[in-house]
Amino acid sequence: MSRQDKSSKGKASGRGGNNTKKRSSARGNAPFKKENTNKQSGRQNKMSGKSTASKNSSEGGIRLNKYISNSGICSRREADTYIATGLVSVNGKIINEMGYKVQLSDDVRFDGRRINPEPNVYVLLNKPKGFATTTSESKGQTVMDLIANATSVRVTPIGRLGRNATGLLFFTNDDKLKEKLSKKGMERLFHVELDKNLKADDLQKISEGLSVDGKTIEVEEISYVDNAPKKEVGLKIKHMGNSVIRTIFDHLGYNVVRVDCVTIAHLTKKDLPRGRWKILTQKEVELFSML
């Protein structure tokens, strides 16, 4: 893996890795390879205690029956029946009045399962430095600015990268996939550069799992980067936060100089220059079912 992500202006081009002389790795793993490259309000129904649509119906938004129909659950007429029988909730409250309107940002659930009237979208970004992984507009430049033209659908990032970290970041509005990955984790491979060479004993400790503040931090794999100083390592983890890498190395007395996410599950940076995004293909999306 190259120490810098090479890209050409205006063109999404990438080159695969070149395997050279191997160095030792923990657990007998192959060495890491270098690469070139509104809250809503309403009156309470005295009989049922449910929210009514009298105030809401005059506000902007989409009718609840249309929202349900657009989600692929059923027809609008059938949706009215389900609403009347109390199978639909909005932001935690059962709604059984016709004409109720909702916003796309509302939490709408049918029989307990959250639904979405928009098509599922999956975006992969090769993040540059200087952008925060957040949807908040008060944090300066964010990754949402970088994918603003990718889709009109509201997507959010899965996992995090620090403002000065670089590499792959995955976005989607697929709540089912988000829930799956939040429970099981998602393998991400990082190229980490330290301020000094990583001792073989410390590499082994990380491989076996570190106990930090009473909690064990486990990694999937760790090895020295092929054809590079031993201060550069490849680290594969399932943790979705952005601080676990620094926690690992701070605990052992190393400073992290650079972090670059090289792969996410089966996704790579091939043909995706720094700062660019792409919409995942159907095949790439389907491979998530194997996780």
Give the 3-state secondary structure of 74-106: CCHHHHHHHHHCCCEEECCEEECCCCCEECCCC
Number of alpha helices (DSSP H) and beta strands (DSSP E) in the chain: 7, 17
Half-sphere exposure (Cβ direction) of 58: Cα atoms closer than 13 Å: 4
Burial class of 219 by CB neighbour count within 10 A (0 to 12, 13 to 18, 19+) = buried
- pLDDT tens digits, residue range 94-151? 999 889 999 988 999 999 988 888 888 999 999 999 999 998 887 789 999 999 999 9
CATH code, domain carrying 196: 3.30.70.1560
Structural contact between residues 224 and 23, judged by C-beta atoms closer than 8 angstroms: yes
Whether residue 54 is predicted with pLDDT greater than 90 in this model: the reply is no
Domain count of the fold of the chain? 3
CATH code, domain carrying 148: 3.30.70.580
Listed residue (131, 162, 163, 160) closest to 147, CA to CA: 131
Average pLDDT over residues 144-165: 93
Last residue of a domain, one of 76, 97, 114: 114
Show the tokens assigned to 217: 């931090």
142 or 57, greater pLDDT: 142
Q: What is the pTM of this model?
A: 0.69
In this structure, which amino acid lies at residue 55?
Answer: K
142 and 247 assigned to the same domain: no
* Number of neighbouring beta carbons within 10 Å of residue 118: 14
User: Is residue 81 one of the residues assigned to a domain?
Assistant: yes
Q: What is the pLDDT of residue 279?
A: 97
88 and 99 assigned to the same domain: yes
180 and 286 assigned to the same domain: yes
Whether residue 50 is predicted with pLDDT greater than 80 in this model: the reply is no
| Average pLDDT of the chain to the nearest whole number | 83
191 and 259 assigned to the same domain: yes
State the residue range of the domain holding 160. Answer: 118-184+270-291
User: Is residue 23 one of the residues assigned to a domain?
Assistant: no
Whether residue 183 is predicted with pLDDT greater than 80 in this model: the reply is yes
259 and 191 assigned to the same domain: yes
Average pLDDT over residues 181-210: 95
Partners of residue 63 on adjacent β-strands: 101
Instruction: Tell me which residue has tokens 């300066």.
Output: 140
